[in-house]
Chain A
Amino acid sequence: MRAVCWYGKGDVRVETVPDPSILNPRDAIVRVTLTAICGSDLHIYNGHIPGMERGDILGHEFMGEVVEVGAQVRNLKRGDRVVVPFTICCGKCYFCQSQQWSLCDNTNPNAPALHKLYGASGAGLFGYSHLYGGYAGGQSQFVRVPFAGVAPIVVDNDLTDEQVLFLSDILPTGFMAADNCNIHAGDVVAVWGCGPVGQFAIRSAYLLGAEKVIAIDDVPERLRLARERSGAITINCATTDVMAELNDLTAGRGPDSCIDAVGMEAHGYGLAYAYDRTKQALMMETDRPGVLRQAIAACRKGGTLSIPGVYGGFIDNVPIGSAFAKGLTLRMGQTHVPRYLPTLMRRIREHEIDPTFIISHRTRLEDAPEAYKVFNQDKGACTKVVMKPS
């Protein structure tokens, strides 16, 4: 089969590789009909994710048709059309059984390594380094899906691939970011980052009852999308004093909730940004926390900071004193995808959310190297790439 493989920083290629096969009794093989490049794939592309090996197959946003099931797969059958969540979940551990799916105890074969790094391991992830299990990803014609009867959701034929594909990651990720804000009537929510997750977080915050959502980014096209498609008030952080603007928009209160939908590769301005870039380049700081600092500083007393953006390591100069003084709640982590699938499926069907609006590029899997390049370089023109394996 053909698959998108990673060979190093900035080096992805489409290669012919062996077809996947059933390795464990609860596996299934899925023929991929549509897949996407995630913003977090760019963290890999740019060499920020440790634990990658040359030749690893990328991709954790994909869907397709079940073509083979293992002996112990109970609730999926050949021919089922499924969206596959990026977190692999066993369904049997304490965490799966308490709806904290991304913290699954049992799906990361390399859990001891991650345990050493973080003190614990969560779920194995598709196409996201050997620290998360080294599972082959779904930017390929076929993919092995472990524990296939647990997290994947069967979709009806009246919904198109493009409508449901983003249930695999970014739609529930944006939704959980808003859900974590515990939104009440009258709340103002500020969202840093207007990539796909930010866009869905804005939409979700309104759906969950926010009065006003403020979107912050430095890419005019993405801000326009947030304004036009989701009704956000926008702040261009390249040209505007964000703190002053937030202060004004909330009449001194600060946003009730702040969402950091940027994560560890935050771009920024000024001295603090130069400091973070230098330290990151010297490997003294792995993540650049510019957005996190600003969100903590901006958030109102007693407010919530929700972090869907990915962090992988260490950060400096985070104003924890401010967070403490204001009694903030911090919520973060990988998305508990299956928790949100039924409600999001319903909202898609009832046209409360049309996730297709973020798609800017439709291409063939064969064109993945170019698509990665464009997505990485042109944040204005490129919000989301979906790819069809032929």
Chain B
Amino acid sequence: MAGAGLIRRGLTGKCEIYTLLGMRSLPSGKPVPYELGVRARAAVTINQPREKVFAFLRQFENLPRVMRHLKSVEENGEGRSHWVAEGPMGKSVCWDAEILNEERDRLIAWKSLPGSQVDQAGSLRFHDAPGGRGTEVRAELQYNPPAGVVGAYVARFFDREPEQEIVADFQRLKQYLETGEIASTEDQSHGRTEPEKKVLPAMEEAMA
């Protein structure tokens, strides 16, 4: 979950909305030592039964519906899958992953396969929320940026805040699973004759 957003942002060095960051002290533009990597975790409560939430997320082909920068996921059998995300300068970035551990309605854990452009591992855990309030989903991700050009892009990501990226994708997941659609104001009417600079990124820049 949320890996595509993280990776894309890493590759472009550009944060779509979240510039309010700076939690990590590594200098930008410098590759991160492999063993450090970056860890991120986030959680969301979804007002739907655990089986339904698990089933949606386990079907990786569903994920581009809720993850903003993921283009496609293809499952190749035996727990392996091929992921394609938007990359820098209109290019795509792809990687292969395999499921390391799966417990129905409780846990999915995965790791990217050797040779991937981005080295990552993660898990999703599912619990019933108390009081019949649906399902608690907790994500944990770890990324290790590779060397080379892609690595330089990815490394620029590491002085930012990856958890915000997961939170944003979780919000869309929740909207989709609870309401059947994702709230949007893209393409609606306005009185702008020329493209206006989006106000929210600028605001968040100012808040940083």
A residues sitting closer than 8 Å to B (CB atoms) are 1, 3, 5, 7, 13, 15, 17-21, 23-26, 50-57, 72, 88, 90-94, 97, 105-113, 115-117, 124, 130-131, 133-136, 140, 144, 146-147
Contacts and interface: CB of A to CB of B under 8 A. Distances in A.
Given A5-B191, A105-B178, A136-B188, 14 more contacts: A5-B190, A18-B189, A23-B187, A26-B180, A26-B181, A52-B199, A54-B192, A54-B196, A57-B190, A92-B179, A106-B178, A112-B167, A113-B200, A136-B185
Contacts of B198: 53, 130
Nearest to A25: B181
A10 to B, nearest CB: 16
B183 interface: yes
B191 A55 contact: yes
A144 B188 contact: yes
Interface stretch (B58-66, B81-89, B168-176): B168-176
10 contacts: A17-B190, A55-B191, A105-B174, A106-B178, A108-B183, A116-B204, A133-B183, A136-B188, A136-B190, A140-B189
Given A15-B191, A17-B191, A94-B133, A55 B179 contact: no
A112 B181 contact: no
Contacts, number: 122
Interface in B28-78: 45, 47
A175 to B, nearest CB: 27
B107 interface: no
Contacts of A3: 189, 191
Contact of B18 (A23, A26, A112, A147): A112
Nearest to A131: B200
B17 interface: yes
B179 A147 contact: yes
Nearest to A70: B181
- Majority-rule SS of B interface residues: loop
Given A20-B188, A135-B185, A97 B47 contact: yes
Most buried by B among A21, A52, A53: A53
Nearest to A54: B196
A14 to B, nearest CB: 9
Interface of B: 17-18, 20, 45, 47, 133-134, 164, 167-168, 171, 174-175, 178-193, 196, 198-200, 203-204, 207
Contacts of A140: 189
Contacts of A88: 183
Nearest to B188: A136
A130 B192 CA distance: 15
A94 B192 CA distance: 36
Contacts of B193: 55
Contact of B189 (A19, A52, A147): A19
Contacts of B203: 50-51, 113
Nearest to A133: B185
Contacts of B191: 3, 5, 7, 13, 15, 17, 55-57
A3 B192 CA distance: 12
A17 B190 CA distance: 6
Contacts of B192: 53-55
A42 to B, nearest CB: 19
Contacts of A146: 183
Contacts of A18: 189
Contacts of A23: 184, 186-188
